[in-house]
A = this chain, B = another copy of it.
Amino acid sequence: MIKFATRTINQFMQQQKDLFAHYKQPSIKEDSYVTGLKLANSLKGSELVPFIPINGRQVNFYYCGPTVYSNSHLGHARTYLGIDVIRRTLRDYFNYDLLSVMNITDIDDKIINGAKQAKQEFLEFTKVWEKDFFSAMEALNIELPDVITRVSDYVPEIVTFIEKIIANGYAYDSNGSVYFDVQKYLADGHTYPKMRPEMNADLLQEGEGESQANKQSEKRSPNDFALWKASKPEEPKWPSPWGEGRPGWHIECSVMASAILGNPIDLHAGGIDLIFPHHDNSLAQAEACFNCDQWINYFIHLGHLNIADRKMSKSLKNFLTIDEVLKRYTARQIRLNFAIHQYDAVMNYSEEQVEQAISKDKAYQEFFQNTKIYLRESQVTGPQKWTQNDFLISNSLRSTKQVIHAALLKNFDFPTVIDAIDKLINQVNVQIANKTVRAPLIQSVVQYVHFILGLIGLNYQTQNNSSSDIKFIMAEVCSIRDQVKLAARKGEFEAISNIVTQKQFQYEKNLSNGIVDCINQFQQQVLAASQEKNKQQLFQLCDKLRDEQLFELGIKIEDKDKEQASIWKQYDPKELKLEREQQQKLIQQKEQIKKKEEEKKKQEELEKLEKAKIHPKDMFLSQLDKYSEFDEKGIPVKDKEGNELSKKQKKVVQELWEKQNKIHNQYLESLKKQQQQQQQQQ
């Protein structure tokens, strides 16, 4: 038993290395797949350690899924988005062969209570919330694990597992329940708790994880925790050698992870709040069952999420469900917002802070749109000889790749990755705007940025795959609209009639009818307005086509300088609408701030004016709580106790008086001027 009752933090820090001496770093064998990746391993006090899977490229990966009794919330989003990005990176960047298992906790106190309140059978109840969870995951573009294990499917395996722990001498049954024998386990040279070795005996009692205070009498030691719980009346129950009951909280992960992935397992992940007691107990159970030293080789933990600097909780009314957040932001914006924070650091969520993700998302979207137009306009048969600009971009691309490779190796440092991508994009944007770089190289940059953002689960390319028919019709729409605007500017109304009556668009197979409707309606209305020679209305119709009609179909028209043709870009209509809402909200917020500042300024000026009205002779007279005697100018000479003011005090009141005298005179001057002006006006 390790106890820190009398030790200081400093001592603790010095000894920390010893505390994690139990950890055995997997060694590199002949067939090891070595990428150089390092992980912050909780089994080594979050130290970065080289990641070496047991069998070649194969990574057996288990992570703790949700307890399904309520809405999925932003805390879930952080954990599972973090794991999703790690999975994609291990697979798509480092080329590991992942087998991922996630459990669903569908037996639990909260579930039993919830089902009781909802008057549902407990597995009916959990199905509802499991579905809610998976829907939220899908909406966030989080990939499913390869294997989903539900506790309710594994009770017989849990019973067998517990029997083996008892047979190994590390658990005992008592009054129909089974407890883990912490003292016996430690006495035999095992380590517990591995990831929180600084825990003292008092804290260890939390190892139970659920309110079992009334069960203390059943235990050999207060630190022992339940593997199997005798069932109370009306609780769900399963048969066992110890009578009817249900599994304890921690045993499920030991059993289900082993059932699919065996022993030892390469990688285990979960939210940091689970590190103790849940994960430490899971480790102890599995190691007690298999009589092994190290069941898990790498244990990583996703960091805490605070909402506006406070812990998220229903009582604080800062509890945010994923559904709610998805109404305000796209999945991409949410994903980016989490990715710009290191996965294992504490993160604070607030509306202001999401703005950074929104603007990044917008920048990426525009980057892909602009490069797409650039590539569309560049002919491979055009000039191809490299200039300094091409070498510049090529070198930037390569150094970006180096920076990102190093960052990913360092415990998936995505904040650095995103920073590097942003810098590269900015450089490329300049070259594209100046048209000073070869298209094939831009194609390579686009391919790479797409690949890296894909690790974060961001995809900006699907929406870019406009079918050829939309390209054709949009080229015509832009051209007609440009011509109408130009003719309207010149007042050539008859020319407009010709422009809009030349072609009638018709519904065709595979043609986007929304656009057909738009352009036909536009042409009719323009015709009418041109016959009435209504210039203003013509411009309004052109704006309406851009800002309302096409906008709703996800198409943005960007007007250029007078002589240049307008360009079009296609987006997901829903995203485009949300983007506009977000922009309007931002404008409103800024206006409110501006309004408040103006009111404040007005108020201050009013106060200043009121102060200026006071004659300097009167300014101290009311301060009888401070002074008792004044000179002829009204300047204090004695304090309230009747003592002469000190030199220093006199200097202060003199200066105050001078200042007031000055602003009062200014006030009188301005009054005089006003009167003169009024007289002149009369």
Give me the interface of A with B, judged by CB distance under 8 Å: 34, 56-58, 93-95, 97, 99, 127, 130-131, 134, 143-150, 153-154, 260, 380-381, 384-386, 390, 394, 398, 401-402, 405, 438, 440-441, 443-444, 462, 465, 507-514, 517, 553
Contact = CB atoms under 8 A, between A and B. Distances in A.
A385 B148 CA distance: 7
- Count of identical protomers in the assembly: 2
A510 B512 CA distance: 5
A462 B507 CA distance: 25
A145 to B, nearest CB: 6
User: Which 7 residue pairs are nearest across A and B when measured between Cβ atoms?
Assistant: A509-B514, A148-B384, A153-B385, A144-B440, A97-B401, A134-B380, A146-B444
A405 B55 CA distance: 14
A443 B144 contact: yes
Nearest to A391: B260
21 contacts: A34-B34, A56-B405, A57-B405, A94-B95, A97-B398, A97-B401, A130-B381, A144-B380, A144-B443, A147-B384, A147-B386, A147-B390, A147-B438, A147-B441, A148-B384, A149-B386, A150-B384, A154-B385, A509-B513, A509-B553, A510-B513
Contact of A394 (B34, B99, B401): B99
Contacts of A153: 384-385
Contacts of A380: 134, 144, 148
A512 B384 CA distance: 41
A440 B145 contact: yes
A447 to B, nearest CB: 8
A34 B33 CA distance: 10
Contact of A398 (B99, B386, B509, B517): B99
B99 A57 contact: no
B127 A381 contact: yes
A147 B97 contact: no
A513 B517 contact: no
Contacts of A405: 56-57
Contacts of A401: 57, 97
Contact of A385 (B144, B145, B149): B149
B99 A150 contact: no
A388 to B, nearest CB: 13
Given A145-B440, A398-B97, A440-B145, A381 B510 contact: no
- Listed residue (A438, A443, A510) with the most chain B CB atoms within 10 angstroms of its CB: A510
A105 to B, nearest CB: 14
Contacts of A58: 398
